[in-house]
Amino acid sequence: MTDDIVLANARLVLESEVVTGSLHLSGGVIRAMDQGAQVPRGALDCEGDLVVPGLVELHTDNLERHLEPRPGVDWRHDAGILAHDAELAGCGITTVFDALRVGNLTSDSVYSETPYARGVATEILAMRAAGHLKISHHIHLRAELCSHTLLDELEAFHAEDRVGFLSLMDHTPGDRQFTDLGRYRQYMTKHHKMTDAEFESHCTALQALSAERRATHLAAALSAAARLGATLASHDDTTVAHVEESRAQGVGVAEFPTTHAAAEACRAHGIAVMMGAPNIVRGGSHSGNVAAADLAREGLLDILSSDYIPAALLLATMQLAEITGDLPAAFACVTHGPARAVGLTDRGALAPGLRADVVRLHSVGAIARPAAVWCAGNRVA
């Protein structure tokens, strides 16, 4: 159950300005917003802290880290989901689209993978229905086009599964993220301990698989997105031609375009550009791709994703505000921007009538930490 809460004397981060005022939360929604530094009797004095909408996360690999904390270690899924949920709440994230891979390689590949998305999604949805999760969970399907199992895995998902985001992933060696086979060789030998001979065999097999099945898999993924009512995303667009293809497919979000040219083309075609928060925090891409901060300076950044470090989302937002000098615009990249991109019109801003997804931030040096987090009016961190 939610209680009546008044957050007073706060710096409220609105969509285009920051104002001193108060929020009245009741029944899971924001009931009222007033300006001024007054603290009514019974209100929580925020002492000038920032109060922002709950963060919205569209692409995170964090759940997989909890399910397999070490290579080959299959952790209890219920415990992993709870830990993931609590970690996100503690980072100020109140809505998450849990990324699950559909499309795996079978045992006739150099290395094999086990399909897991349907089972894990069922467990997430059951825990949500039972009220065990702190924040709002949705499903993000990462559809791997270069795979063996994509068709069967997509068919296992249905309209009631809360699939709101589906990204088209193509990790064929020599294309997109892996255009540079030298970098790809380094990645595979480091993470999968491949010998040179195994790497060559792996590349040859995947390139043949892609040539055989990509068109069929792409058509199935596009059909699934429409059937499930999911926003469609591209992944690792590198060239203008990639973006032109995305536009023709009805893509709404470009996840991590790798070049400035691709990001510019996305803007020209009305495709929202998502970049990784770690890219901002580290000052550039760990893969040698375009720097997110450079895109932000040119007005080419719409959405930030924590990608593989949940705490990076808030940290990058504050750094982005310093880079651009625009705090509301920086927070729009983690609240209003991602929410609207997936059709969630009930959250992502501080306004009467919207969900009471709210975060109070307290400064610790140059870092803002969540001092309190409410999801639908419930205190979750």
Statement to judge: residues 260 and 172 lie in one domain = yes
Q: What is the pLDDT along the chain (381 residues), one digit of tens a residue?
A: 567 999 999 999 999 999 999 999 999 999 999 999 999 999 999 999 999 999 999 999 999 999 999 888 999 999 999 999 999 999 999 999 999 999 988 865 556 678 999 999 999 999 999 999 999 999 999 999 989 999 999 999 999 999 999 999 987 776 766 666 767 777 777 766 778 787 777 788 888 888 889 999 999 999 999 999 999 999 999 999 999 999 999 999 999 999 999 999 999 999 999 999 999 999 988 767 899 999 999 999 999 999 999 999 999 999 999 999 999 999 999 999 999 999 999 999 999 999 999 999 998 887 899 999 999 999 999
Q: What is the pLDDT of residue 179?
A: 67
Q: What is the pLDDT of residue 108?
A: 58
Statement to judge: residues 239 and 285 lie in one domain = yes
Statement to judge: residues 220 and 318 lie in one domain = yes
The domain that holds 5 is classified in CATH as: 2.30.40.10
CA dist list (Å): 311 to 60, 62, 90, 91 = 11, 11, 9, 5
Statement to judge: residues 214 and 82 lie in one domain = yes
Statement to judge: residues 355 and 325 lie in one domain = no
Statement to judge: residues 179 and 232 lie in one domain = yes
Statement to judge: residues 190 and 68 lie in one domain = yes
Statement to judge: residues 279 and 314 lie in one domain = yes
Q: How many residues does the chain have?
A: 381
Structural domain containing residue 369: 1-53+347-381
The domain that holds 325 is classified in CATH as: 3.20.20.140
Q: What is the pTM of this model?
A: 0.93
Statement to judge: residues 134 and 225 lie in one domain = yes
Please name the residues in contact with 152: beta carbons below 8 A apart, sequence gap of 6 or more: none
Statement to judge: residues 374 and 289 lie in one domain = no
Give me the number of domains the chain comprises. 2
d(CA 234, CA 252): 8
Statement to judge: residues 15 and 69 lie in one domain = no
Statement to judge: residues 358 and 263 lie in one domain = no
Query: Residue type at 146?
Result: C
Q: What is the pLDDT of residue 174?
A: 65
